[in-house]
Amino acid sequence: MRTIKITEKFELAHQYPMQNKPQDCYVALDLKNETLSADWNCEIGTAVPMDVYHGHTRRYTIPCLLMDTANFVLEDIAPLAERVIAGYKSMWTGNNNVATLNDDAQQAEGEINKICEETYESADETNTVQICDAEDWLYDSKPYTAGKTDDDLVKMASEFEEQAISENIYLNSDVLPILKTWRDEYAEDEDK
């Protein structure tokens, strides 16, 4: 079995524009290709790919974890995932090929679910990503944009982005355009 590690700090963080909450995250065990990974759900709502629907890819819900914590969870689950793969068969039902698991694989899957539940219980700001609306997160800084040059705003944006990263905060939009808009609004108000 191959484990695909998370390679970026905020890799599991994603929120689509116009959505009021971030996408859910999960550990995925692809039984056909014998791979274990973690990802965010690219589907909005309850839609799932056919391999998930028919059980060939198993998904176990996790919080939006930081890279190191997600990789630790994958390492913890890997021996159990091997047991699930070993007890997997694809069975034709007359309509579709569906996944079946033997008793040991089902027991191992139960243990994977338990690990993921415990991950939720232990989740806090030190091991999870907080996804924030950039404009809301920056709002208290709005007055400081008045009269700033583009270079000043670039520097401010960089400092805010570094601060967000250090606090495990993923901003769901770019900072610089927000700062420029606020600066321009102040300039328009002064012209009136």
Contacts of 173 (CB under 8 A, 6+ apart): 133, 134, 135
Is 70 exceeded by the pLDDT of residue 192?
no
CB 85 within 8 A of CB 29: yes
Q: Please choose, from the candidates 131, 130, 129, 134, the residue with its C-alpha nearest in 3D space to the C-alpha of residue 174.
A: 134
Report residue 38's pLDDT band, with 50, 70 and 90 as the boundaries: very high
Contacts of 55 (CB under 8 A, 6+ apart): 31, 98, 99, 100
Buried b (16+ CB within 10 A) or exposed e, 36-74: bbbbebeeeeeeeeebbebbbbbbbebbbbbbebbbebb
Per-residue pLDDT reduced to its tens digit, 52-81: 999 999 999 999 999 999 999 999 999 999
Vertex 86 angle, CA 43 and 4, to 5°: 45
pTM across the whole model: 0.87
Coil, strand or helix at 149:
coil
Question: Residue 41 has which token pair?
Answer: 């759900």
Burial status of residue 2 (CB atoms within 10 A of its CB: 0-12, 13-18, 19 or more) = exposed
Rounded to the nearest 10 degrees, the angle between the axes of helix 175-191 and helix 150-166 is 140
pLDDT digits (tens, 9 = 90+) for 88-135: 999 999 999 999 999 999 999 999 999 999 999 999 989 999 999 899
Q: What is the rounded average pLDDT for all residues in the chain?
A: 94
